[in-house]
Amino acid sequence: MSASKITGLSTRLLTLPLHRPWGDTVPENHVIVTDVSTEAGTGHGFSWTPTIGPRAVQALLDHDIRDFVLGRPAEPEVLWDLLWKHLHEAGGGGLTTIAMAGVDLALWDLKARTAGRSIADQLGRRQESAVVYGSGVNLHYSQDELVAQVQRWVAEGKQAVKIKVGKPDLAEDIDRVAAVRDVLGPHRKLMIDANQRWDLPAALRALDALAPFGLEWLEEPLRADDLWGYRQLRRSTSVPIALGENLHNIYRFRDFISAGAVDIVQPNIVRVGGITPFRRIVELARTHSIRVAPHLLPELSGQLALTLAEPVWVEDVEDAAFGQLGALTGASPVRINDGVLTATGAPGLGLDFVSALSRG
């Protein structure tokens, strides 16, 4: 039986104020809800960006992408390659792949809903649960606020946490990491994330000072494009290097893996273009014995984590899930209890976004 044809595409932009702003410049996140209509029904997907480009993403969807996909078969893996080739003149990643995710997620949602299955069961569930680690955009927190956040995660049963580093004075980073380690004790895992704040010499100095605190990984210490720098850094330390939230296609992941520049890849399912490319990147990593740790979006990445051959950790940023931000009409498709994520089994992606945010 041939796939049904795409008959329509509509979008709406939701701006979600964060309960805990990610610093002065990130008070909100943006979701571009994408509804794709076909002869067989409608699928619901989304694109996402914390700060930059939501209206540009929406414009790509409303014009270049809609015009291209109308009348084409609603088969996500086939359409993804055609659409990526079509949009490549505007860039092989970034705004283009973020926009593509809206269509890809909608088509996978429709495929699973039509079959009466959750996305995890549609793709093939391999895990019953996934471990969640506490994460926060907290470099602007005082040390007391940071310690209190980590104490909340410990009280919730989380066995691993990630904090931001990259203060102008390395001594302050040392004090903050030491305070967090005191709360965690020796057995819980501690990851640190520099969000591209260092160059190679600064990263090496920081690792000399911070490695003794028992780091599970150091995330994105250098600019995301600095392949040469990451290669040198990984050769110089025993601390695992994690990156990938700002790599936007499988070729960039291949470059970093082939160069021996990374230990853990962190694809963001939306930034790479959806479920279709995410699964390809996971298989690439698996063939090279590289760990995977999906970036953000626990309601989506948590469900996909249950489909992977190897257990992965799921990132849960405090008070930033879609359900917590009032973006969903119903319950979240995942539950997190005692540091463990399970799926409810809701059909499709299980993400039914509100028409508009309440301003009450």
CATH of the domain at 332: 3.20.20.120
Please tell me whether residues 127 and 106 are part of one structural domain.
Answer: no
Please tell me whether residues 140 and 98 are part of one structural domain.
Answer: no
Rg (CA), the chain: 20
Please tell me whether residues 92 and 164 are part of one structural domain.
Answer: no
CATH of the domain at 52: 3.30.390.10
Confidence (pLDDT) at 209: 98
Confidence (pLDDT) at 288: 98
Q: What are phi and psi of 184, to 5 degrees?
A: -75, -30
CA angle 276, 280, 282 (to 5 degrees): 115
Start-to-end Cα distance in the chain:
48
Helix, strand, or coil (residue 115) = helix
Asked whether residue 232 is domain-assigned, the answer is yes
Please tell me whether residues 86 and 129 are part of one structural domain.
Answer: no
d(CA 313, CA 340): 9
Please tell me whether residues 133 and 236 are part of one structural domain.
Answer: yes
Please tell me whether residues 224 and 103 are part of one structural domain.
Answer: no
Q: Which of 116, 148, 169 is the last residue of a domain?
A: 116
Please tell me whether residues 107 and 129 are part of one structural domain.
Answer: no
Do 246 and 224 form a contact (C-beta atoms < 8 A)? Answer: yes
Q: Which of 116, 134, 153 is the last residue of a domain?
A: 116
Please tell me whether residues 222 and 186 are part of one structural domain.
Answer: yes
Domain around 257: 121-343
Q: Which of 116, 143, 162 is the last residue of a domain?
A: 116
Please tell me whether residues 209 and 339 are part of one structural domain.
Answer: yes
Asked whether residue 46 is domain-assigned, the answer is yes
To 10 degrees, the CA torsion angle through 71, 75, 76, 78?
-90
* Run of H or E including 103: helix 95-115
Confidence (pLDDT) at 117: 98
Asked whether residue 18 is domain-assigned, the answer is yes
Q: Is 295 a catalytic residue?
A: yes
Do 243 and 219 form a contact (C-beta atoms < 8 A)? Answer: yes
Asked whether residue 194 is domain-assigned, the answer is yes
Q: What is the residue-level pLDDT of the chain in tens, covering all 360 positions? A: 567 999 999 999 999 999 999 999 999 999 999 999 999 999 999 999 999 999 999 999 999 999 999 999 999 999 999 999 999 999 999 999 999 999 999 999 999 999 999 999 999 999 999 999 999 999 999 999 999 999 999 999 999 999 999 999 999 999 999 999 999 999 999 999 999 999 999 999 999 999 999 999 999 999 999 999 999 999 999 999 999 999 999 999 999 999 999 999 999 999 999 999 999 999 999 999 999 999 999 999 999 999 999 999 999 999 999 999 999 999 999 999 999 999 999 999 999 999 987 654
Asked whether residue 353 is domain-assigned, the answer is no
Confidence (pLDDT) at 49: 97
Confidence (pLDDT) at 358: 62
Prediction pTM value: 0.96
Into how many domains does the chain fold?
A: 2
Please tell me whether residues 89 and 151 are part of one structural domain.
Answer: no
Please tell me whether residues 127 and 88 are part of one structural domain.
Answer: no
Q: Is 111 a catalytic residue?
A: no
Of 30, 44, 158, 164, the catalytic one is 164
Please tell me whether residues 235 and 262 are part of one structural domain.
Answer: yes
Asked whether residue 350 is domain-assigned, the answer is no
Asked whether residue 1 is domain-assigned, the answer is no
